[in-house]
Amino acid sequence: MTEENKINGLAWFVAGLGVGALVGILYAPKSGRETREDLVNGAREGTEYLRARTRQAAEQMGDLVDKSKEQVSEYVERGREVVDRGRAQWEEFVERGKSLVSEQTGRVTAAVDAGRQAYKAPVIPDEPTEL
């Protein structure tokens, strides 16, 4: 559809709306005053309806926010528990590692001391060796 056809179609639509509104006013079963009162009452009812729905939506959003806060708090607490457990396990592994290193250090020190003593001790041959 070209741009000109769109504009033409829109113009005819607006013209039809105007004609329809004019015919509706001319053949209205109520007087102008009654029609205006009905329109004002309808607008008031619509406004009250929107206010009530807005209050309702605000209350629902408040409830959702409260539930979300509770869930986030619960997840944070669970996360803290997991971190605490992990930290405790880590500390246990570190202590095990320290004791293992200490134990191995003791063994290596004992082996080095034994090697030094063996080096310093005089060697007495049991039998003379031939050259």
* pLDDT digit string, tens, across residues 40-93: 888 889 899 999 999 999 999 999 999 999 999 999 999 999 999 999 999 999
* Number of domains the chain is built from: 1
The sign one gets for the Cα dihedral 70, 72, 75, 81 is negative
Tell me, what DSSP letter sits at residue 128?
P
Q: Give Dmax (Cα) for the chain.
A: 146
Helix (H, G, I), strand (E, B) or coil at 126: coil
What's the predicted TM-score (pTM) here?
0.43
What confidence tier does 128 reach under pLDDT thresholds 50, 70, 90?
A: low
Q: Could you tell me if residue 69 is inside a domain?
A: yes
Both structure tokens of 129: 């060796």
Query: Considering the domain boundaries, does residue 51 fall inside one?
Result: yes
What is the band of 129 on the pLDDT scale with cuts at 50, 70, 90?
low
Q: Quote the domain boundaries for residue 51.
A: 31-117
